């Protein structure tokens, strides 16, 4: 067993760990990223790339997303076109009057929260997206909604962090965290002991395992999403697209079971279309199922009939790190000096990566973060229980 030291150890090289590493190096702090497989091996490499604002709950969630979105413009400048960030604008499709009613209220709250978003009728909508069927009666349009390649983003953040002095250990699961007198002392893998005063738990859906190593309970559950990928086609869609039902299912798990499910649809820069996705609690099973894939395909075809002529080339599933209140768990943990949480972003980790990286890095550097971390701390769950 070898010995090494690090100013900060980040567990998990998904988009969240990568963003924190990147933002730390911009402050002259050189972290060690420890990843059990490869970068983006978790949900950051098995997801869509929607950087959406209109899907965020008005209030804290939306404020966090707005702050993150602002930072993506700068990230594109620094990381370059390879991350395929495009401010395409986003549509949320409405298919019946009851959805319209709910969306009207949702949009009023979002506008009050500072988001520019408007309701457009079916005719105007088909002017923007001619392939949408008559089934869609209206949509909300958010011009700031954007798209990015999540895989490329994660790798670009890690490459930039490494160029600035961060280190990466891939293929090395964290197996232990040493604590003495309520303070983190070291992180262990099977091959080495890494002495460090600070460890960041950015293990996504596996964050509870890392929590257990430090003696804390982290209420994150894996929520599977199954996706279809089509062959590349010339541009068919101009916007990132979700359905109103998708928002409902995201915040109300019972709505994701039975009945009409939500969907998301985007065309990547490569021309491939990503069609998603289920929302299921299926443990850590990352396999796709015939029923799941069928349900996604059956849901999208009446909305975009032209997709019937586009071959599906593969399917995959990822595990969203779900928290009971839909917000990520960020920041220090009471009674455990040197242990920081940065996990639980559910279906929003790509969109929220920029602000998460910035907030955690600012906290570690001893700066006042641009956004208070208190509402996101782990303790909110124990307070709720009490």
Ligand X SMILES: Cc1cc2nc3c(=O)[nH]c(=O)nc-3n(C[C@H](O)[C@H](O)[C@H](O)COP(=O)(O)OP(=O)(O)OC[C@H]3O[C@@H](n4cnc5c(N)ncnc54)[C@H](O)[C@@H]3O)c2cc1C
The least CB distance from residue 155 to ligand X, in Å, is 12
Q: Which is nearer to ligand X, 48 or 358 (CB)?
A: 48
Alpha carbons 165 and 162: distance in angstroms, whole number: 5
Alpha carbons 12 and 198: distance in angstroms, whole number: 14
The least CB distance from residue 54 to ligand X, in Å, is 12
The least CB distance from residue 123 to ligand X, in Å, is 28
Q: Which is nearer to ligand X, 59 or 122 (CB)?
A: 59
The neighbouring-strand residues paired with 191 are none
Q: Which two tokens stand for residue 165?
A: 């002095």
Which residues would be at the binding site for ligand X (CB under 6 A)? 11-17, 34-37, 41-44, 46-50, 173-174, 202-206, 209-210, 225, 227, 276-277, 318-321, 343, 345-351
CA 154 to chain centre: 11
Q: Which is nearer to ligand X, 53 or 132 (CB)?
A: 53
The least CB distance from residue 228 to ligand X, in Å, is 10
Q: Which two tokens stand for residue 179?
A: 């604590």
Residue 90 to residues 96, 144, 146, 241, 355, Cα–Cα distance (Å): 19, 7, 7, 6, 20
Q: Which two tokens stand for residue 122?
A: 């079916």
Q: Which is nearer to ligand X, 25 or 154 (CB)?
A: 154
The least CB distance from residue 353 to ligand X, in Å, is 7
The least CB distance from residue 126 to ligand X, in Å, is 24
Q: Which is nearer to ligand X, 265 or 307 (CB)?
A: 265
Residues 6+ apart with CB under 8 A from 283: 222
CA nearest to 35, candidates 157, 170, 167, 166: 170
Q: Which two tokens stand for residue 146?
A: 């954007």
Q: Which is nearer to ligand X, 47 or 179 (CB)?
A: 47
């Amino acid at each position: 067993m070898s010995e090494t030291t690090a100013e900060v150890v980040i567990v998990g090289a998904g988009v969240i760990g990568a963003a924190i590493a990147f933002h730390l190096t911009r402050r002259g702090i050189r972290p060690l990223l420890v990843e059990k497989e490869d970068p983006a091996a978790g949900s950051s490499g098995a997801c869509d790339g929607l950087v959406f604002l209109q899907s965020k709950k008005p209030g804290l969630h939306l404020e966090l997303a707005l702050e993150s979105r602002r930072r993506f413009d700068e990230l594109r400048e620094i990381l370059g076109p390879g991350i395929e960030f495009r401010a395409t604008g986003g549509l949320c499709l409405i298919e019946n009057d009851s959805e319209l009613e709910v969306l009207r209220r949702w949009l009023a709250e979002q506008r009050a929260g500072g988001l520019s978003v408007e309701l457009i009728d079916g005719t105007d909508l088909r002017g923007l997206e001619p392939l949408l069927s008559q089934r869609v009666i209206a949509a909300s349009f958010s011009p700031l909604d954007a798209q990015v390649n999540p895989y490329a983003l994660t790798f670009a953040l890690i490459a930039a962090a490494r160029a600035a002095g961060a280190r990466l250990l891939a293929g090395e699961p964290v197996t232990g965290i040493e604590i003495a007198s309520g303070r983190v002392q070291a992180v262990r893998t099977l091959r080495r002991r890494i002495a460090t005063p600070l460890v960041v738990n950015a293990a996504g859906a596996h964050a509870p395992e890392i929590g257990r190593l430090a003696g804390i309970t982290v209420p994150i559950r894996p929520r599977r999403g199954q996706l279809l990928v089509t062959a590349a086609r010339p541009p068919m869609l101009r916007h990132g697209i979700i359905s109103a039902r998708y928002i409902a299912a995201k915040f109300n798990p019972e709505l994701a079971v039975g009945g009409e499910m939500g969907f998301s649809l985007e065309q990547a820069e490569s021309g491939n279309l990503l069609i998603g996705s289920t929302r299921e609690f299926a443990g850590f099973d990352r396999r796709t199922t015939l029923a799941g894939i069928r349900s996604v395909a059956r849901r999208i075809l009446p909305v975009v009939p032209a997709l019937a002529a586009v071959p599906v080339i593969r399917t995959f599933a990822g595990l969203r790190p779900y928290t009971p209140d839909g917000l990520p768990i960020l920041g220090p943990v009471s009674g455990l000096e040197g242990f920081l949480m940065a996990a639980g972003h559910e279906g929003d980790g790509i969109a929220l990566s920029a602000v998460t990286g910035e907030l955690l890095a600012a906290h570690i550097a001893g700066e006042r973060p641009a956004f208070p971390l208190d509402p996101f701390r782990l303790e909110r769950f124990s307070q709720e229980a009490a």
